[in-house]
Amino acid sequence: MVTSNLRLLVLVSSLTCVAWASSISSLVSRQLFDSIFLHKDDPACPAKDFYTYDSFVQATRRFPAFGNTGSLTTRKREIAAFLAQISHETTGGWPTAPDGPYAWGLCFKEEVSPQSDYCDSTNTQWPCYPGKSYNGRGPIQLSWNYNYGPAGKALGFDGLRNPEIVSNNSVISWKTALWFWMTGQKLKPSSHNVMVGRYCPTKQDLAANRTAGFGLVTNIINGGLECGIPTDGRVSDRIGYFERYANIFNVDTGPNLDCQYQQPF
């Protein structure tokens, strides 16, 4: 019995070491994080001091496959792609900004001047709560009741009654972005599966030219507004972030960066 217990202890210790070694912090140190987001805590940024490194690392523990699937190159490329997409969603940069336009990610934690309350009243599975707005919040700018509802259910908060928590709680905010990244929805694959080579296109996907790559991730996130449009500036901005971050991680971007010839989902 003593021998069995000892073996169990060694096994648990080994698994703990493996989990620790594969932590996101092994690929994204605090120093690297700060070098990527040079201006996230600029006094001009509404999200100043909100998107902390510690909250990011804590949130990734809820999704252990993130940045931990495939080869080292694949892992780094996925992280770079995720950080690029959230940077575009929360950017405060401009063409002549200090350090360039792609050094200003994570500047905003909530959509500026939303044009609606983002309530899809036809969605009875995730009904809107009176007086609540489901406008973009957090790193991925989570939007619409049909995203807040399931995100809250998966992560343990009431997304329909308390959507504001996404812009008030840093850890939950990061978790919603990772939830959206890791979760396939309806006809859409997850961005995670696309970036780690697990995307299996259907006949409809092939007919719509939805080929694997960073451009497909853009299609997943906001294809209805940005894809199928030649040289869309928003798509180019996302690519600019990705190219900068891929260079920082010392990996290539892979093919199919844009979605200008893809049909939206």
Per the annotation, the verdict on 89 as an active-site residue is yes
3-state secondary structure 79-147: HHHHHHHHHHHCCCCCCCCCCCHHHCCCCCCECCCCCCCCCCCCCCCCCCCCCCCCCCECCCCECCHHH
Q: Look-up: residue for tokens 């080994």? A: 14
Q: Which SS3 state, helix, strand or coil, does residue 185 take?
A: strand
Q: Quote the CA–CA distance of 136 and 185 in Å, as a whole number.
A: 18
Query: Which of left, alpha, beta for 254 (phi over 0: left; psi -120 to 50: alpha)?
Result: left
Amino acid code (one letter) for 204: Q
Query: Which helix (H) or strand (E) element contains residue 10?
Result: helix 2-21
Q: Which of 78, 89, 110, 111 is catalytic?
A: 89
Burial class (CB within 10 angstroms; exposed 0-12, middle 13-18, buried 19+) of 159 = buried
What dihedral do alpha carbons 242, 214, 142, 188 form, nearest 10°? -170
Catalytic residues: 89
